Structure 1
């Protein structure tokens, strides 16, 4: 009886195979790889779009500072997080000046003096109105003629640069003015803008100046 069952089972399988001819089976691994590549391409394309948007914002902000168009500058301040200012490369969230967008707009036209930090060398507090700080410190030289970089530092001095530690998830730009030969290149200056996207637009969350320090 057992010997009879085995041939019948084999015959049943053979008939089933004839009724259901073998079809090509999709290569699951290849499909997953293609999907992954597509996601990478999409992400890369989105990053390119973001990079272009950041560059555009960077240039518009520089032009606004050059022409003292502070209304345009203010329009780039993050609506929810506001903006912080660092006099030098070391960012100190506890000590650096910070404004909400509303407060910046409110006090921009006033003669209110703020202490923005301590001047390198003397250690004296640097006091100025918002407009004077923007004109005399932030845009102390024509940065529209600077060398641009995205998420990369071009300048480096003897002070600690902790921007990436404080803003690990944000994009930043650097606008670098090379130092002169007569001063051994030590009179370089740079301005960094830290951006964060909000509702499809790139906004400023920080402005960081840097230069050679004693």
Structure 2
């Protein structure tokens, strides 16, 4: 009897030990499964987020439509004297170089930043913009007066001739836009003449030069041209 009772107790103890080991193993397996199943979920979420971010295609530098659209925006801002809108089209880092007579000279042509263009109407300070052809006297005036005489001297939105990367007419001044802006493209607006009685001796043109920044065209140069004796 004693021997049978002892065997029963030993059997019960073995059962308890084995049961506890099995439970521990199952618990460990469940935890591993939980950790392992969470890894692909995180990876999947990251992958989904990355693929949802839109990527902007690079600007087609040969697309004349985009270039003309930007040039038209500049002309409209000039016509409306909306210098705040114009400033947003100016290159944020380079600013815009202003050339009164066809030949670009970066060593002396004035450069206006975005902020200076935005405040152009209120700026009463006199600046020297170069030398007048013929007289050789300094062109000294406010920014607004310069724009009225050497930028939008006529309504270039009505120009009968428009050229892209092409100089439509050459006068006495050297035409060096391509050399002065090797990384740019330009649109020229040209009037063969204003007063028919002058038979073309009052022709004038406006070149708008653009370069790419942040995948868009920005204004870097405004070149005025006109007939000179």
Aligned to 1:155: 169
1:201 maps to what in 2? 216
Instruction: Say if 1:108 and 1:131, in contact at 8 Å, map to a contact too.
Output: yes
Equivalents in 2 of 1:139, 1:106: separation in Å? 17
Contact (CA 8 Å) 2:86, 2:117: kept in 1 or not?
Answer: no
Distance 1:178 1:107 in 2: 29
After TM superposition, the structure 1 = structure 2 runs for residues 135-174 of structure 1, keeping only pairs within 5 Å, are 135-146=148-159, 147-174=161-188
Aligned pairs, number: 170
Query: Is 2:69 aligned against 1:64?
Result: no
Distance between the aligned counterparts of 2:154 and 2:118, measured in 1?
24
- What is the TM-score with the length of structure 1 in the denominator? 0.74
Check conservation: 1:191, 1:209, Cα contact below 8 A: yes
Alpha-carbon contact 1:68-1:135 (below 8 Å) kept: no
Bigger Rg over Cα: 2
Runs (5+) with no aligned partner, structure 1 = 1-42
**TM-score, normalised with respect to structure 2:** 0.69
Tell me how far apart the structure 2 counterparts of residues 123 and 65 of structure 1 sit (CA, whole Å).
Answer: 28
- The answer to which of 144-153 and 175-184 deviates more is 175-184
Contact 1:90–1:160 under 8 Å retained in 2:
yes
Confirm or deny: 8 A CA contact 1:90 1:161 kept in the other structure: yes
Aligned to 2:48: none
Unaligned runs of 5+ in 2: 1-57
Counterpart of 1:177 (choices 184, 191, 196) is 191
| 2:101/2:225 contact within 8 Å kept | yes
Aligned mates of 2:125, 2:212 — CA distance in 1: 30
Which residue number in structure 1 is paired with residue 7 of structure 2?
none
Measured on the aligned residues, the alpha-carbon RMSD in Å equals: 1.9
Asked if the contact 1:65–1:135 (Cα under 8 Å) also holds between the matched residues in 2, the reply is no
| Alpha-carbon distance between aligned partners in 2 of 1:159 and 1:81, rounded to the nearest angstrom | 25
Partner Cα distance (1:66, 1:105) in 2: 15
Determine the C-alpha separation between the residues in 1 that align with 2:62 and 2:111: 30
Superposed, 1:1-214 pairs within 5 Å as: 46-49=60-63, 51-105=64-118, 108-146=121-159, 147-179=161-193, 180-214=195-229
